[in-house]
Amino acid sequence: MMKNTLDGVISDIQKHWRGLDSYTVEHTRTQLQKLTHTSVQEPWLARLFAEKPQSQELHRDAKHGFILLAHFEKKGLYRVPHNHGAGWVFYALHSGEMRVTTYKQITSPDGYSTLVSRGANVMQPSNVTTYLPGDIHDTECLSDWVLMFRLTSCDFQEEKQSGRLIQFKGHNQDV
């Protein structure tokens, strides 16, 4: 029987999930890093590579609420600065390179708000990053394509509909 890294990672995350705390963040990061090392010979990953969907849900956890997705993105795809509302997220890169810039929203004494860059990092295969509630970041695919696993703490469509998930105009722009 062929090893299934995906099932093992999901099972282990479920077993140790405690909600938003340092233990859950570190444990989940470690498990997702295992996913980034998965061989394309595993049937579930071979299917993903054959189809290269923009987004595919791999698991939705009924008990804990987290969702694991796979995303294939093409070179130049840019997602404007955004936060994830009350949710939090892990990005785990399997293949390719992606630039992620983080921001802080600054409001001057006269009420003028703008985003200020904290700097950019280039994610490479096996990198896993975490963005907590309120963290603002953008993403840009630098390589011909990337495969990124994204584990969200909740359904971000609900965060968006509630108005908590905010997409900003773009980098270096007023809010």
Write the secondary structure of 128-172 as one string of H (helix), E (strand) and C (coil): EEEECCCCEEEEEECCCEEEEEEEECCCHHHHHHHCCCCECCCCC
CA–CA separation, 123 and 104 (whole Å): 20
CA end-to-end span of the chain, whole Å?
Answer: 53
CB 118 within 8 Å of CB 102: yes
120 contacts 99 by C-beta, under 8 angstroms:
yes
Lowest mean pLDDT segment, chosen from 12-21, 95-104, 150-159: 150-159
- Output the pLDDT for position 1: 47
Please give the structure tokens belonging to residue 109. Answer: 């004494």
- The residue behind tokens 């490479």 is 124
Rounded percentage of the chain residues whose pLDDT exceeds 90: 76
Mean pLDDT value of segment 120-147: 96
CB 77 within 8 A of CB 166: no
Q: Which of 41-50, 115-124, 144-153, 156-165 has the lowest mean pLDDT?
A: 156-165
